[in-house]
Structure 1
Amino acid sequence: MSIFEGFLSTSETLAAFSDRSFVDAMLRFEAALARAQAAEGLIPASAAHSIVGSCQVDLFDVDKIGRDSGRAGSLAIPLVKALKEAVGLFNPDAVPYVHFGSTSQDVIDSAMAMVTGEAVALVQADLARATEALLVLAQRHAATPMLARTLMQPASVTSFGFKCALWAAPLVRGMARLRTASERALQIQLGGAAGTLAQMQRQGRHPRAAVRARMAAALGLRDGGTQWHTQRDEWVALGCELALVTGSLGKVACDIALLSQYEVGEVAEPGETGRGASSAMPHKRNPVASMVALAAAHRAPQRVAGLLAVMPQQHERALGAWQAELAEWPQLLMAAHGSTRAMAWALPALQVDTARMRANIEQVRAGLPREAADEWFSPALAEDAGAQALELIEALRAQGAAAPAAGPAR
C-alpha cells in the first residue's frame, strides 16, 4: 500500500488485505480442504491432522512467499511448497495429500472471498451508520428552509431535510443491493486443475459436492454448487455494487463540500483537533471527510472498469485476465471502506447553520422583484418539501426494515 493511498482507506481494510492476512486465509482454506477430504475418506485422517496442524501462519515466512510468487506466477505455488515442507518435517507420508485435488485458483479465490467478506462487513456497518445519520438529519430538518441549487445557481427553496432524505435514498437502496450481491459472490471456489475435481474420487465414489459443502460451511462461504474459475459475473457484480455505493457517498460529499464553502457556510464537518488543518494557513478548515469520499468516488470507476475488462477469460482458466482482476480488487474495497468510514464519521455530527440558510435565501430575494421572490424563494416553500421529506423517510425506513439480515450465506 502506497503512502499516497493509506490515508484514503482504513486500518481495518488495510489489515484485511495485508500479506499476512491473505496468507492466513489461504492456510485456512488448506486446513478446511484436508478436514473435508478426510471426513469423506479421500485422504487418511492422520494426514489431515498433520496438514491442519501445520496451517499456522506464524510458521511461515510471509515475505518470502510474496517474493517467490513473482517467479512462480502465483502466490499459491510458493505457499503450497512451503506447506509441504512444513508437513514433511513431522509426517512425510502426509505430504502427497497437501492441496490434494485442488489448484492455485481455488485457494486464492477462496481466500479473496474470505478477506472480502471481512471488508464488506466493515463497509456495511459504516454505511448503515452514515445512512441512519442522514435519516435523523432529514427528520430534524424536515421543514428547514434552504436554497435549492441547479446548475450551481439558486433555483428555488427546498428543505434541508428533503435534501438529506434524497441523499439517504440511494444509500438505502445500495445497502440492499450490496447485501444481495455479497451473499451471492462470497462463495467457495473449488474446481481442481481443470474445474472438474477429477482427483476427488475413490472406488467409484464422487464426494466432490460433499467436500465443497463441508469447506463452505467451515469457512463461512456460500456453496454455489460448482466452480467459477472463469465465470466472474457474480464476483464482478459485487464490485459494481461497491462502486455504486461509493459514487452515492461521493455525491453526498460533493454537496457537503459545496455547502461548507466560506461564501455559503450552511453546513460544516464536525471539528476535531488537527483535522482539516492547512500546512500554511491557520484559518483554514478543510472538509477532509468529504475529500476522502470524493477521492474514493473518483477512483472506484477505474477499478470496476478493470474488473469488467477482464471478464472475457480464456477457456477453463485465464492467462493474465484473472491475475489483473486480483490486483484491482483490494483497491476497490479500500476505496469503498475509506468512503463509508469518512461519511460515517462526519454525518452524525454534521454542523447545520439554519440561520445562514435563511440569510442566503433572503440575499437572493433582495435582488429580485417581489413577485418573483415570493413565487420562487418564499421560505414557506420548505413546508411542502418537508412533507415530502417525511414521506420519503417513512418509505426508506420501511425499505430498510424489510431487508433481510446482512451477512454472507452460511
Structure 2
Amino acid sequence: MSSIFEGFLSTPEVLEAFSERSFLSAMLRFEASLARAQATVGLIPESAARSIIGACKVELFDVAKIARDSGQAGSIAIPLVMRLKETVRLVDQEAADFVHLGSTSQDVIDTAMALVTRNTLALIDTDLNKAIAALLMLATRHAEHPVLGRTLMQPASVTSFGFKCAGWAAPLVRSRQRLKASASNALSVQLGGAVGTLAQMQGKGAQVRALMAADLKLKAPTFAWHTQRDEWIGLGCELGLLAGSFGKIAKDISLMSQYEVGEVSEPTKPGRGGSSAMPHKRNPVACMVALAAAQRAPQRVAALLAAMPQEHERALGNWQAELAEWPGLLMSAHGATRAMARALPGLQVDTARMLANIEKLRNELPGDVAKEWFGLDLAQGAAALARGQVTILTELNESTETTNAGTTP
C-alpha cells in the first residue's frame, strides 16, 4: 500500500503487514497448512504435501503480477493458487492436483487476514499498554495538582490533573480487555469449501480445520463464517472504539496545549511538530495522528457494518468491500495508539500555569462563586478519587496480561 499519506498517520509495521508481499506470504502459510493437515488425515499423499509445502515460499512468486492479475480474476486467491499449482508441477506433476484441495478463495483470504490482523493486534496491544502505563503514572504524579475542569468548553470548577489522567486511562484499559476477548473469538481459521460444507474432504473437514487451527495458532470455529461476520466485525467495532478513545485524549491535550491555555504540551525534539513557515510553532503531532484516526475509523466501521448483509453462502461485493476497508482501520488504530504511546510518557505538564489559569478566573468572579467552585481545596477530593481509580485500573490492566491471549502471534 502507498505510504505517502498513510505513513505519517500509521506505522511502518502495519504498512508492511498489509503489503502485497506480506499478505501473499500469509496466504501461502494457509496453503502449506492445508496440505500438511490433509496429509495427516490421509486425504492427500505425504509426498504431495511435502512438494506443496516446499513451494509455499513467497520469494518463488511474482507478487506484483499476481496482484495485477487479481483484478481480472476477481480475487487475489485465484492467480495465487494458479501460480502455486504451476510451481508445484515443476517438481511434482501429481502433487499439483492436490493444491488447494476442497478449499475456496475466501478460505485462504479470510485466514490470511486473520494471521496478519493477529500480528497487528499484538503491536497495538504493546503500545496500548505503554499508553495506559504512562497515563496511570501521570495520574499518580499529579493527583493533587489543581486544574480547571471545563464543561461545554467553559470553566466549570476545579478538579485535579491526576483525576483527568485517570479518566483518560479508564476507557483504554476497558478497550484493551475487550480487544483481547474479541480477538480470541474472531481470529479463526476459515475453512468451509465452496458453500461451507467441506463436501470435497470426505467427512474429514472438521479434522483438517482443527489441525490447521493448531498449526496456525488460530481458533478452530464450529462453522465456516463465510457470510456470518458477527465476530469479525465485532473486532472491527472494538478497533473503532479504541480510535475514538484516543481521539478524546488527543482532543483534550490539544486544547490544553493551545498557547493561550498552556497547561500541557507534547514532548519536543528536533524535527518534531515544526512548521514549514513559522519556526515558533510547536504542533501537537501525536494528537493530530490520533484525531485523524478518530475521524477515519467511524467510516471504516460503518462500512464493515454495512457489508454484513451478505448473500446466501458466499457474498457478491459486500465481502470484497469489507476486505478493502479492514487494513485502513487497523492502520488508523495502530497509528493513533503508537503516536500517543510515544507522546504520553514525555507529556510536559505545567502545574504553575494550571494554577495561574485558576487564579485569573477567581480574580474575575464574585468572591462567593470563586470560593464555592474554584477553591484549590477541591483538588483534594479529586486526588482521592484519582488514587482509587489508579489502583482499580492497574489491577484490571494487569489481569488482562494473563487472560484472552488471542493476540499472541
Q: Shorter-normalised TM-score: what interval?
A: over 0.9
Question: Which one-letter code corresponds to 1:141 in the other structure?
Answer: H
- Counterpart of 1:301 in structure 2 is 298
Question: Which one-letter code corresponds to 1:120 in the other structure?
Answer: L
What is the CA distance between 1:406 and its match in structure 2?
Answer: 5.1
SS in 2 for 1:147: strand
1:254/1:51 CA distance change after superposition, 3 Å: same
SS in 2 for 1:155: strand
1:243 pairs with one of 240, 252, 255: 240
What is the CA distance between 1:207 and its match in structure 2?
Answer: 1.6
CA distance in 2, matches of 1:409, 1:12: 16
Which string of whole-angstrom CA distances, capped at 9 and with x for unpartnered residues, describes residues 182-230 of structure 1? 11000000000111000101xxxx2211111110111111111221000
- Counterpart of 1:396 in structure 2 is 393
Which string of whole-angstrom CA distances, capped at 9 and with x for unpartnered residues, describes residues 356-385 of structure 1? 000000000010111111111111110000
RMSD across aligned positions (CA): 1.0
Which string of whole-angstrom CA distances, capped at 9 and with x for unpartnered residues, describes residues 284-309 of structure 1? 00000000000000000000000000
1:232 pairs with one of 217, 229, 249: 229
Task: Report matched runs for 1:104-253 at 5 Å.
Answer: 104-201=105-202, 206-253=203-250
Instruction: Give yes or no for contact 1:121–1:407 (8 Å, CA) kept in 2.
Output: no
Instruction: Give yes or no for contact 1:186–1:408 (8 Å, CA) kept in 2.
Output: yes
Which string of whole-angstrom CA distances, capped at 9 and with x for unpartnered residues, describes residues 141-192 of structure 1? 1110000011111111000000000000001110000000011000000000
CA distance in 2, matches of 1:221, 1:402: 22
CA distance in 1, matches of 2:100, 2:77: 10
Q: Give the TM-score normalised by structure 1.
A: 0.98
Which string of whole-angstrom CA distances, capped at 9 and with x for unpartnered residues, describes residues 107-131 of structure 1? 0000000000011111111111001
CA distance in 2, matches of 1:409, 1:224: 16
- Counterpart of 1:281 in structure 2 is 278
- 2:406 aligned with 1:405: no
Task: Report matched runs for 1:269-348 at 5 Å.
Answer: 269-348=266-345
Question: Which one-letter code corresponds to 1:31 in the other structure?
Answer: A
- Counterpart of 1:357 in structure 2 is 354
Which string of whole-angstrom CA distances, capped at 9 and with x for unpartnered residues, describes residues 21-74 of structure 1? 000000000000000000000001111010000000000000000000000000
CA distance in 2, matches of 1:44, 1:20: 29
Instruction: Give yes or no for contact 1:221–1:409 (8 Å, CA) kept in 2.
Output: no
What is the CA distance between 1:396 and its match in structure 2?
Answer: 1.1
Question: Which one-letter code corresponds to 2:406 in the other structure?
Answer: P
SS in 2 for 1:157: strand
SS in 1 for 2:5: helix
- Counterpart of 2:254 in structure 1 is 257
CA distance in 2, matches of 1:347, 1:117: 25
Task: Report matched runs for 1:5-44 at 5 Å.
Answer: 5-44=6-45
CA distance in 1, matches of 2:407, 2:281: 47
Unaligned runs of 5+ in 2: none
CA distance in 1, matches of 2:113, 2:219: 13
CA distance in 1, matches of 2:12, 2:407: 26
Task: Report matched runs for 1:34-73 at 5 Å.
Answer: 34-73=35-74
What is the CA distance between 1:400 and its match in structure 2?
Answer: 1.8
Q: Percent identity?
A: 66
Q: Give the TM-score normalised by structure 2.
A: 0.98
Instruction: Give yes or no for contact 1:146–1:157 (8 Å, CA) kept in 2.
Output: yes
What is the CA distance between 1:4 and its match in structure 2?
Answer: 1.8
What is the CA distance between 1:267 and its match in structure 2?
Answer: 0.3
CA distance in 1, matches of 2:54, 2:245: 46
CA distance in 2, matches of 1:306, 1:172: 26
CA distance in 2, matches of 1:346, 1:401: 22
Instruction: Give yes or no for contact 2:122–2:407 (8 Å, CA) kept in 1.
Output: no
What is the CA distance between 1:409 and its match in structure 2?
Answer: 7.8
Task: Report matched runs for 1:81-92 at 5 Å.
Answer: 81-92=82-93
SS in 2 for 1:158: strand
**Greater shift in the superposed pair: 366-375 or 395-404:** 395-404
What is the CA distance between 1:391 and its match in structure 2?
Answer: 1.0
Question: Which one-letter code corresponds to 1:145 in the other structure?
Answer: P
SS in 1 for 2:172: helix
Which string of whole-angstrom CA distances, capped at 9 and with x for unpartnered residues, describes residues 225-248 of structure 1? 221000000000000001101100
CA distance in 2, matches of 1:91, 1:395: 61
SS in 2 for 1:127: helix
CA distance in 2, matches of 1:227, 1:292: 37
Give aligned pairs, total: 406
Unaligned runs of 5+ in 1: none
Question: Which one-letter code corresponds to 2:244 in the other structure?
Answer: G
Structure 1 ranges of 4+ moved more than 6 A: none
